[in-house]
Amino acid sequence: MPGKRPITPELRTELKTGAFVILLLAAMLSATLASASTLLRGTGDLAIIIERASGAVQIVETTGNTRIGRVAGLGDLSHASAVFSRDGRYAYVFGRDGGLSKVDLLEAKLVTRVLQSGNSIGGAISQDGRLVAVSNYQPGGVKIFDAADLSLVADIPAEYGDGLRSKVIGLVDAPGQRFVFSLWDAGETWVVEMRDPAKPVIRKFKDIGRNPYDGLITPDGRFYIAGLFGEDGMALLDLWHLDKGVERILPGYGKGEQALPVYKMPHLEGWAVAGDRAFVPAVGHHEVLVMDTKTWREVGRIPVQGQPVFVMARPDGRQIWVNFAFPRNDKIQVIDSESLTIIRTLTPGKGVLHMEFEPRGEEVWVSVRDADQVHVYDTASLERRTVLPAHKPSGIFMTARAHRIGL
């Protein structure tokens, strides 16, 4: 054994330095491990909640119904929506101010943000997940970006008539690497095929009706339907047979009734198909319209307590949930899709802005703006299970949308 060495001041300094380095490395190691274990998780049960007034999104998980992160700095998020990368890790958030933000849900950080127009109204992600499209009001058109770095891939101005540009609404993805959208001012629907991103192939359908205000696509991606604000009715396009052109459906559904002032434009994005019935909001009426999806004819209408905004089917199609425009936006009505009767009226509180079902339908998340809360309901008992705080919450979007056509 070597003999003992006297502890000199120099040796003490060296030992201290060594110990410090070791402690520092141990701390770094433990921080890395902690961070890795926080981040290491599946993304299938994640969701974002838009906090519209603060330009932020909350990141939540729907298994334990807890908040796991928050990302701010996303600009004006009134009327914001989102789509997801096919791996479920990234959310693409479309802000009202033309901002397009790519958010990393695992690291809870903003990856990239581009201010791509002056005023926009939603977007879509291509079938293969490689392209993100945004529909713009000002300047009117659609811009398409690389999903990886948000670099511009294609710019499609919504030109019509004599050098005019239209606001674009109702943008959805469709099978065959296509995007479909409508022109509010022009009354047109366009189908853009992006198989070769350098050469978009555009097909235009004119005279679809006055002022299309939103569009939807059937869950199988076959039928695109634009709702019309300028007249009662909707415009149907069969994407399997473009040569058939656009067909007008539900013509004059408000005939003989006094249309009410429309306080909030209804949404079609969250429409409802249950079995062979489709449920859509009637614009300016306290009614939900029921169509047969085989004939696209009206087969019923359900009186509700206000002007419907979102009309959404529970994923199994057994229930239809409806929220409403101001001043009756404190309530939700739940409709039985078979008997077409209202089975429950819930009163979550003022400003019920959005609802999102968990992918297999066991729970539904509801944003209640004025209460600064998100409520989670059990869809079997219709009881409230969880209340989460959120600052002026609006849209709620779950990563399972990544795997659906048109969402």
Q: Which of residues 257-286 bind a second copy (CB under 8 A)?
A: 274-276
Q: Applying CB under 8 A, does 197 fall inside the site for a second copy?
A: no
Which residues 100-119 are close enough to bind a second copy by CB under 8 A? 105-107
Q: How far is the CB of 336 from a second copy (least distance, A)?
A: 10
Which residues 112-171 are close enough to bind a second copy by CB under 8 A? 127-129
Distance CA 94, CA 1 (A): 72
Q: Applying CB under 8 A, does 403 fall inside the site for a second copy?
A: yes
E strands of 72-163, at which residues? 81-84, 90-94, 99-104, 109-115, 119-125, 131-138, 141-146, 152-157, 159-160
- The amino acid present at 91, given as its one-letter code, is A
Backbone angles phi, psi at 130, to 5 degrees: -95, -10
Contacting a second copy (CB under 8 A), which of 139, 175, 245, 349? 175
Q: Applying CB under 8 A, does 372 fall inside the site for a second copy?
A: no
Q: How far is the CB of 229 from a second copy (least distance, A)?
A: 29
Q: Do the strands 141-146 and 152-157 form a parallel or antiparallel pair, or are they unpaired?
A: antiparallel
Contacting a second copy (CB under 8 A), which of 240, 242, 345, 384? 240
Q: How far is the CB of 369 from a second copy (least distance, A)?
A: 27
Q: How far is the CB of 344 from a second copy (least distance, A)?
A: 17
Distance CA 24, CA 91 (A): 35
Please name which of 267, 84, 296, 241 lies closest in space to residue 173, comparing C-alpha atoms. 84
Distance CA 190, CA 138 (A): 18
Q: How many residues does the chain have?
A: 407
Q: How far is the CB of 171 from a second copy (least distance, A)?
A: 16
Q: Which two tokens stand for residue 103?
A: 């958010």
Contacting a second copy (CB under 8 A), which of 67, 70, 89, 248? 89
Total number of residues that touch a second copy (CB under 8 A): 71
Q: Applying CB under 8 A, does 222 fall inside the site for a second copy?
A: yes
Please name which of 244, 118, 210, 124 lies closest in space to residue 172, comparing C-alpha atoms. 124
- Given a contact cutoff of 8 angstroms between Cβ atoms, the answer to whether 284 and 262 are in contact is yes
Contacting a second copy (CB under 8 A), which of 49, 51, 71, 84? 84
Contacting a second copy (CB under 8 A), which of 163, 294, 339, 383? 294
Stretch that binds a second copy, among 83-91, 224-232, 243-251, 281-289 (CB under 8 A): 83-91
Q: Applying CB under 8 A, does 7 fall inside the site for a second copy?
A: no
